[in-house]
Structures are given as C-alpha cells and as structure tokens.
Amino acid sequence: MGPELSRLCDGKQPMTQVAREVSPEAPAAGFVRVVKTLMDDAIDRGEVECLVDVLSWALANFAHQGGPQVAGDIVRRLGSHMGALAELDQAQVDAEQTRKEGVKSH
C-alpha cells in the first residue's frame, strides 16, 4: 500500500479531502470511480435504496469478518465523512452569503 492509499485508508482524514489528492493510478482512485459510477447509475434508475442496501451489506460483511473493532472503525469513519460533508456544505453557504453581502455593499 503506497503512502497515498494508506492516508486514504487510515480514516484519519475525510475521504472528500484525501480523494482529491490521490493520484489517478492509486487503487483508491479506482474504488472512488467505481462507487461514483454505481451512485450515478442508482440515481438515474431511481434505485438509490437498493444501492444503499447493497453497500451497507458489504460494510456489514467487513464488520462481521473483522469483529467489533472493525465495526467500530466503520461507524467512526462514517461519522467522520458525514461531518466533513456537513463542513463542505456550510463552507458553500458561507461563501454564498459572503458573495451576497459583497454585492449589497457596492
């Protein structure tokens, strides 16, 4: 596992941040592309619930095989990714608000 992939897979940084920095040749980049393709396809077909069920089953299988520590790690990473996405959303809201305030002051 190269340094880029180990950074992505260690769960210490949000995937949204690290995925942008991973070289296209890294295995993680391929996983990101595959999952994005699956997500886009599920949205186009109106089958998001089905994809969520399949992906959550896959995570449950990892947790089952790895035991309680792995299960806890999966939940921790999910929370970390959700927090990072919420921060990105808030940053966009803040940027838009700043832009609007700049327009009003001129």
Number of domains in the chain: 1
Residue 56 confidence class, pLDDT cut points 50, 70, 90: very high
Nearest CA among 8, 11, 39, 5 for reference residue 25:
5
pTM of the model: 0.65
- Host domain of residue 76: 3-104
| CB atoms inside a 10 Å sphere around CB 91 | 10
Predicted pLDDT of residue 51: 94
Residue 16 has pLDDT above 60, yes or no: no
Cα end-to-end span (Å), the chain: 53
